[in-house]
Structure 1
Amino acid sequence: MQRLSGLDASFLYLETRSQLMHVIGIIEIDPATVPGGYTFEKMRDELERRLSAMPTFRRKLANSVLNIDHPVWIEDTDFDIQRHVHRVAVPSPGSEREVADFCAHLAGQTLDRGKPLWELWIMEGLAGGKAAAMLRMHHAGVDGVTSADLLAQLCTLTPDPPELDEDKVKESAGGTSRATMAAGGAVNYFVQRPIAMAKLLPATLRVPVGWFKRARSSDAMPAPFQAPRTPFNAPITPHRVVAMSQVPMSDVKKIKNHFGVKINDVVLALVAGALRDYLIRLDALPAQPLVAMVPVSVHGADEADLVTEGTNKVSGMFTELATDVEDPAQRIEASARAAQISKAHHADIDANILRAWAQFAPGTTMAAMMKIYGDRQLSNLHPTVFNVLVSNVPGPDFPLYFLGARVEGVYPLGPIFHGGGLNITVFSADGHLNFGLLGCKELVPDEWSIVESFKAEVKVLADLAG
């Protein structure tokens, strides 16, 4: 068995019927490249073969009333690929919008916790003979980096099936007994937790002190609960909207080089411009800049002894979005300055503090509190924590083949939260910057206009750079 870390388990405790904690990847593919011709059965069989060397896809949750610690992963001895891989035809004309509408419907459904927490939908009938795949996985089992790694294992440099790693084929999450689970949980709870708390408190107390000192010299990132309220900062429902598109990576690099900034600065400026246009149309643009929560991977960071190994190795950084700046050129410069301040501030904070505190998450209590928080719409009663989640995930700059089918676009989508009903993720791959948006349907009623504004912003800045 493999016990979940506190941060991994927190995504289980945070989940309610409205606040769904899964991550999504929508993959546009050309099935014409599949060796021997495409059929759904052939693609499903090839996936089953590859999953024999991908243990993450074969593990499921286990828990017991006697277990006072976090749940564990065990091997699903009854694993059946047909319970996870499904086929559907997209309505005519089979454009990105029909794909997005279907994916939005699926994004509002919970995953069955009685089996491995993932599913794959193959969508046929797209315009031009194309197809799409939607991979949905629970955040308890993946973060941004690990989901990209898993996707990379399902993709190859050529259409031909790869050889499998025999060591991975032999790997297993194993099984467990209720007694073993309870005994290990009791040791963690009564012995390891008090020791970890004693080590964690001094490092944590340094965070607000350092934040206060930086704030006095105006080089601190925005603090939580200081973001202005917007129409998408309200309690969310289970209903979702999805929108996606792509722009040439050459334009993004041209902008980066012209203004002397980083790719991430360009992404933040593009998002700021798109949200500024969107809120102006709604007559709801705040005078002060919006605040973005930017997930930061801590894979490769030094592991503190108070952190339990887990799948999710992520922290978060707050940064201002220059939505208060009208000129696109000035907006990108303001975005770069704000990001530089936030990165420097975030670097001063121990990357493992969030993960360390998550170890103390009380499962039953936290789940009950989240249900009350959502049902009573309590996010309306306190200041906005942040306005929007913005992620920038780098991918390979060369062609890939998903189970033999040529990949033409990859659009990652992250979860949304009560009080933060909009998530924007960009993924660079094979000469394109792919833009994926997931929002609450009631809070983001015109999602495609944000995509169009994002593309228009790229054109304006690329023209300035050209």
Structure 2
Amino acid sequence: MNVRPAIERMAGIDAGFLYMETPSVHMHTLKIAILEADDALTYDAFVAGLLARLKRLPPLRRRVVEVPFGLNHPVWVTQPRIDVPHHIRRHRVGGPHGAGGMRELEQLIGMIASTPLHRDRPLWELHYCEGLDGGRVAVVGKMHHALADGAAANALLANVTDVRSAATPEAVQEEYAVTDRLPGRIDLLRHAWADAAAQVGSLPGLLRRTLIGILGVLRERRAGARSPLPVVHAPRVSFNGALTPLRSFATVTLSLPELKRIRAQHDGVTLNDLVLATVSGALRRWLADHDERPASSLLAGVPVSADERDAVPRLGGNRVSNLFTTLATDVDDPVERLRTIARTTSDAKRIQARLGTSILADWSQFTPPRPFAAAVRAYSRLNAASWHPAAFSAIVSNVPGPREPATVGGARLADLFSVGPLVDGIGLNVTVWSYVDRMNFSLLACPDLLPDVHVLASYFPAALAELDLAPPATAPTLRRDPA
């Protein structure tokens, strides 16, 4: 097995998530694991188990070191130890006697999401939340997007869970050298110049690929492919505007077999299309509640993986692109709304394929760190996101999660939720992670823009039901704990 160096240049796309961060825009993701009660599961046992697996979780030992004068992207430095009290924190849900429900946990998660991660340590925290009803425990992982995207987070999860199937492949392992010594200024500057010089050599090829991609997009559009243009086609709604630091969080669980059954009723529709249509139906109800009736449809920014189909699982970094599609909220009929989403998303995928899924990551290598970060901070400080229509309306992503039951330290993993960050101007993120037979929708919002995210979450079951052409006599329901 190859051993990766202890000090590595951060990829431009990873560094971009650092540059996008401001006091009101936090670029961390959340992963929430609900564990069943188990006598062997204690806080001390959990910490000991995590430390025992730390070698298999290299991103948790990597911290950011900036390059003097911002001459190049920062470097990752892998250290041999972590500061346990800083990174692993303990909470009790529902007061001193416990018995807290999902609503109380969601309130705590909103508070956890509202504070940034410290740059002088590895960019993650684990929050061990005791006191849930039934003796359950929730573990809330808070990880900076610069460390890992959804695909890498899935691989990390495989390194902390155990499954019963002998057919399941071995958990991913990745060897890193470690160092106690941070690089000095002279070393950082020397390597920054050397890496920049090597990087310049890739520019002619990138320009050529970009030109070919743009010409391909123009051909697709002439052939009739249509996808909405961000900013140009996004209407103004109340949850688009300048963010504040506060976050609120809500979840809703739908049945994966039920979604698959409904999808089979609609030709040419993918599970992702059905997810988008469910989000759309819920947002239509929410907009009606708030007397908002935009003349044009809301748009979704959809993160998509740029990994090769059979790529070896990786434990860190980002290989993502984005496509923009309609949510068809201006279409009254739910079935026609789904068809419109499916057609538009299919066109958007073809256009993105023409441009190339790696173009964003390739060009981000040439982002000038200091000017870009300064421009983002100034934009946020001036609340400039409120001056113009948002680039799009909401972030919606769907990441396939574990397909069979898992355990963590012997305790059964009962449920799994995930949500990505908000970006300035976009006050709602809906992230879907599947776990076994469940589709878990997690909603993260800025409460100063969208104050009742729990109400929005409550509309998702009805939004899915209206797409069902042949509802069963008694529709199956999954857990939704009482408030």
TM-score, normalised on structure 2? 0.88
Q: 2:55 matched to 1:41?
A: no
Deviation at 1:380, TM superposition (A): 2.5
Question: Equivalent residues in 2 for 1:2-41 (5 A)?
Answer: 2-32=8-38, 37-41=40-44
1:163-312 correspondence to structure 2 within 5 Å: 168=174, 171-174=176-179, 177-178=183-184, 179-189=186-196, 191-226=197-232, 227-260=234-267, 261-300=269-308, 311-312=317-318
Aligned residue for 1:251, secondary structure, equals helix
In the superposition, relative to structure 1, how do residues 354 and 366 fare at CA in structure 2: closer, same or farther (>3 Å)? Answer: same
Q: Which has the higher helix share?
A: 1
**CA-to-aligned-CA distance 1:217-268 (integer Å, 9 cap, x gap):** 5413212212111111100000001000211111101111111321111101
Name segments (4+ residues, structure 1) moved above 6 Å: 164-167
1:120 aligns with 2:126: yes
CA distance 1:137–1:396, shift in 2 (3 Å):
same
Find the residue that maps to 2:226 and give its secondary structure. coil
Partner of 1:423: 429
CA positional deviation for 1:176: 5.3
What is the one-letter code of the residue matched to 1:201?
L
Map 1:67-106 to 2 at 5 A: 68-91=71-94, 93-106=99-112
**2:52 corresponds to which letter in structure 1?**
R
Does the 8 Å CA contact 1:67/1:186 hold for their aligned counterparts? no
**Structure 1 residue aligned with 2:399, among 374, 393, 396?**
393
Q: Which runs of 5+ in 2 are unaligned?
A: 1-6, 473-483
Deviation at 1:5, TM superposition (A): 0.5
2:479 alignment partner in structure 1: none
Q: Which amino acid aligns with 2:177?
A: S
* Counterpart among 432, 437, 451 of residue 438 in structure 2: 432
- Aligned letter for 1:418? D
For 2:459 and 2:13, the matched residues in 1 are separated by 35
Give the conservation status (yes or no) of the 8 Å contact 1:59–1:173. Answer: no
State the alpha-carbon separation in 2 of the partners of residues 396 and 49 from structure 1: 22
Residue type at the aligned position of 2:91: V
The aligned residue for residue 447 of structure 2 is: 441
Give the conservation status (yes or no) of the 8 Å contact 1:73–1:173: no
Shift of 1:372: 0.8
Q: C-alpha displacement at 1:101, in angstroms?
A: 0.7
* Percent of aligned pairs with the same amino acid: 34
Q: Following the alignment from structure 1 to structure 2, what is the Cα–Cα distance between the partners of residues 329 and 360?
A: 44
1:207/1:171 CA distance change after superposition, 3 Å: closer
Q: Bigger shift: 316-325 or 49-58?
A: 49-58
Q: 1:140 to 1:173 in 2, by over 3 A?
A: farther
Separation in 2 of the partners of 1:436 and 1:246?
9
Task: Decide whether aligned partners of structure 1 residues 396 and 443 sit closer, same or farther in structure 2, where only a CA change above 3 A counts.
Answer: same
**Cα pair distance change 1:271/1:143, threshold 3 Å:** same
Cα pair distance change 1:110/1:266, threshold 3 Å: same
Q: Counterpart of 1:306?
A: none
Secondary structure of the corresponding residue to residue 73 of structure 1: strand
Query: Which runs of 5 or more residues in structure 1 are unaligned?
Result: 304-308
Task: Return the alpha-carbon distance in structure 1 between the equivalents of residues 427 and 351 of structure 2.
Answer: 26
Provide the aligned C-alpha RMSD in A: 2.5
Q: Distance in 1 between matches of 2:427 and 2:150?
A: 19
CA contact (8 A) 1:241 1:441 kept: yes
d(CA) in 1 for partners of 2:289 and 2:190? 58
Number of residue-to-residue matches in the alignment: 454
Q: Which amino acid aligns with 1:185?
A: A
SS of structure 2 residue aligned to 1:277: helix
Q: 404, 409, 418: which one pairs with 1:412? A: 418
**Counterpart amino acid of residue 7 in structure 1:** I
Equivalent-residue separation in structure 1 for 2:367 and 2:33 (angstroms): 34
1:289 aligned partner, one-letter code:
S
Structure 2 CA distance for aligned equivalents of residues 311 and 415 of structure 1: 16
Equivalent pair of 2:80/2:178 in contact (CA under 8 Å) = no
Give how far 1:321 is off: 0.8
Give the secondary structure class of the aligned counterpart of 1:104. helix
Quick one: distance in 1 between partners of 2:458 and 2:173?
A: 46
Aligned equivalents of 1:210, 1:347: Cα separation in 2: 9
Secondary structure at the counterpart of residue 461 of structure 1: coil
